[in-house]
């Protein structure tokens, strides 16, 4: 299961929890003639709040790890998503401190609760909801197509010069860390989304296509990828050569 799928499922957990929170709140404050046992409802509301926060922490951990790992500039959607998360944390802290300490503001707690639920929905829609939609509920193949930068694959094979100078290798490493690192582990053969790259050009064959492990075939994989990898056909020849120079050191 991809981490994105897992994260989206946890996101659904957050939504359910938000609905439970609003429902219990409405029952506690909203009815003139109480239907359920108020003490019980309060307990459910509190336990549910804790569950919400645990899910929230889990998901934040994924997100922060992803940002650190990919070093990606956030998209507008990701920015909206993370800002919503920050606002939710602030509102939650405010709500808990009003309930526990600043009781004079108690009436505002309900509005804050509604706001938290509302922003939770927006936050989910911008990430988990979006992801589940574009992947047709988590099939990774659709995700690959969705993240793919491939338009028309460039068909000619790529001819390259294998560089070994430290400057090219350094540039290649930087590019690798921003474009490839998310799906590949450079220093092991563990499979992430794609195969690990340790010894990629030292072994006789490439791991998936079983083509000879030559610099040309590695460069070709970047431009006209075999199977499910997105194409990086927009990279300059020089960038591709630098990435291959780095792959050659692994
Ligand atoms: C979105 C995920 C993703 C990204 C980003 C990605 N790859 Fe891949 N890569 C894959 C997958 C998946 C495969 C295995 C192909 C398959 O199973 O369909 C693969 C396979 C490979 C292979 C082995 C090909 C073979 O013939 O066996 C190489 C080499 C490779 N990738 C290099 C790169 C480089 C270099 C970059 C960065 C410029 C990169 N990949 C970025 C997903 C990715």
The pLDDT tens digits for 184-222 are: 999 998 888 889 999 999 999 999 888 899 999 899 889
Q: Using one digit for the tens of pLDDT, what is the confidence trace for 80-124?
A: 999 999 999 999 999 999 999 999 998 899 999 999 999 999 999
Q: Using one digit for the tens of pLDDT, what is the confidence trace for 168-186?
A: 999 999 999 988 988 899 9
Rounded distance from Cα 130 to ligand 1 centre (Å): 24
For the chain, the first-to-last Cα distance in angstroms comes to 28
- pLDDT reported for residue 234: 81
Ligand 1 neighbours, Cβ below 6 Å, are 147, 179-180, 182-184, 193-195, 200, 206-209, 211, 218, 221-222, 226-230, 232, 243
- pLDDT reported for residue 128: 86
Question: Rounded to 10 degrees, what is the CA torsion of 139, 145, 148, 153?
Answer: 140
Q: Using one digit for the tens of pLDDT, what is the confidence trace for 132-172?
A: 887 777 666 655 555 543 444 445 556 788 889 999 999 99
- pLDDT reported for residue 138: 66
Question: Rounded to 10 degrees, what is the CA torsion of 214, 217, 223, 227?
Answer: -130
Res 74 pLDDT > 80: no
Q: Among residues 250, 246, 220, 240, which one has the least CA distance to residue 165?
A: 246
Closest Cα to atom 39, ligand 1: which residue? Answer: 180
Res 19 pLDDT > 70: yes
Rounded distance from Cα 228 to ligand 1 centre (Å): 8
Q: Tell me how far apart the alpha carbons of residues 153 and 170 are, in angstroms, rounded to a whole number.
A: 28
Closest Cα to atom 19, ligand 1: which residue? Answer: 194
Closest Cα to atom 40, ligand 1: which residue? Answer: 180
- pLDDT reported for residue 148: 44
Res 76 pLDDT > 90: no
Rounded distance from Cα 195 to ligand 1 centre (Å): 7
Rounded distance from Cα 79 to ligand 1 centre (Å): 27
- Mutating to test ligand 1, I would choose from 158, 225, 241 the residue with most ligand atoms within 8 A of its C-beta, which is 225
- pLDDT reported for residue 100: 92
Tokens describing residue 117: 């639920």
* Higher-confidence position of 69 and 115: 115
């Amino acid at each position: 299961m991809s981490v994105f799928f897992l994260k989206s499922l946890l996101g659904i957990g957050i939504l359910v929890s938000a609905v439970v929170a609003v429902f219990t709140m409405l029952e506690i404050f909203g009815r003139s003639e109480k239907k359920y046992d108020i003490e019980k409802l309060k307990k459910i509301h509190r336990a549910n709040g804790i569950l919400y926060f645990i899910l929230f922490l889990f998901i934040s951990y994924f997100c922060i790890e992803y940002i650190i790992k990919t070093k990606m500039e956030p998209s507008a959607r990701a920015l909206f998503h993370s800002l919503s998360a920050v606002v939710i944390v602030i509102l939650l802290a405010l709500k808990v401190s009003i309930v526990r300490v600043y009781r004079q503001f108690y009436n505002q707690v309900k509005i804050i609760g509604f706001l938290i639920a509302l922003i939770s929905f927006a936050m989910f829609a911008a990430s988990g909801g979006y992801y589940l939609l574009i992947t047709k509920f988590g099939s990774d193949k659709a995700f690959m197509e969705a993240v793919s930068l491939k338009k028309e694959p460039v068909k000619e094979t790529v001819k390259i010069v294998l560089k070994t100078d430290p400057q090219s290798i350094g540039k290649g490493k930087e590019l690798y860390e921003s474009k490839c690192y998310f799906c590949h582990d450079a220093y092991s053969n563990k499979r992430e989304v794609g195969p690990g790259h340790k010894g990629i050009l030292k072994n006789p064959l490439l791991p998936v296509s079983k083509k000879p492990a030559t610099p040309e075939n590695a460069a070709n994989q970047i431009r006209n990828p075999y199977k499910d990898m997105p194409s990086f056909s927009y990279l300059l020849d020089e960038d591709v050569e630098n990435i291959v120079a780095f792959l050659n050191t692994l």
